Amino acid sequence: MPYINLRVAGELSREQKQQIVAEFTATMVRVANKPAEYVIVTIDESPLQDWGWGGELLDQAE
């Protein structure tokens, strides 16, 4: 049973999440020959202030 966990900085819309889930599932079906009904996709969103890059929080980056 494939389990895919996507972590993103910031928020996604419901429509974006639906498209991501559909496309990740389709990729597993096509590439790995896995049945779609067994593919699990989770999306973890984190506020930009919880991510740092180059010594700064992403919500401060310009």
- Domain extent, residue 32, equals 3-57
Per-residue confidence at 62, pLDDT binned at 50, 70, 90? Answer: low
Answer yes or no: are the C-beta atoms of 25 and 41 closer than 8 Å: yes
Residues 6+ apart with CB under 8 A from 43: 6, 8, 12, 17, 20, 21
Q: Is the pLDDT of residue 38 over 70?
A: yes
pTM of the prediction? 0.86
Mean predicted confidence (pLDDT) in 40-59: 94
Total tally of structural domains belonging to the chain: 1
**Chain Cα centroid distance, residue 8:** 6
| Average pLDDT over all residues of the chain | 95
In a domain, 11, yes or no: yes
DSSP at 47: -
Three-state SS at 24: helix
pLDDT of residue 61: 66
pLDDT of residue 60: 87
Mean predicted confidence (pLDDT) in 7-35: 98
In a domain, 35, yes or no: yes
